[in-house]
Amino acid sequence: MPKVEINVPDHLDVQIAQLVEQGEFLNREEAIEELLSTGIRAYKTSGPMDEEEPGYEEDGMMGHEDEYVF
């Protein structure tokens, strides 16, 4: 399996760590792989967001500039 290195904002790192601590995933690697796969499936299902919806690309769904929407 190819290895990928990414940088994520602190708030996403905390959320991933919490999911692992809560037992949703066995470890960080499994959490990131599953969350990324789920995001890609959701993106393929819904397609890219319409550019007519204001604010999501600039501010992120929760108001963070560096938050990505899948």
Residue 26 lies in a domain: yes
pLDDT of residue 19: 97
Profile the chain (70 residues) by mean pLDDT over runs of 10 residues: 92 97 97 95 78 50 53
pLDDT of residue 59: 47
pLDDT of residue 69: 53
Count up the domains in the chain and report the number: 1
29 and 35 in contact (C-beta within 8 Å)? no
pLDDT of residue 66: 56
Residue 24 lies in a domain: yes
CA of residue 16 relative to chain centroid, distance: 9
Residue 58 lies in a domain: no
Residue 63 lies in a domain: no
pLDDT of residue 11: 97
14 and 8 in contact (C-beta within 8 Å)? no
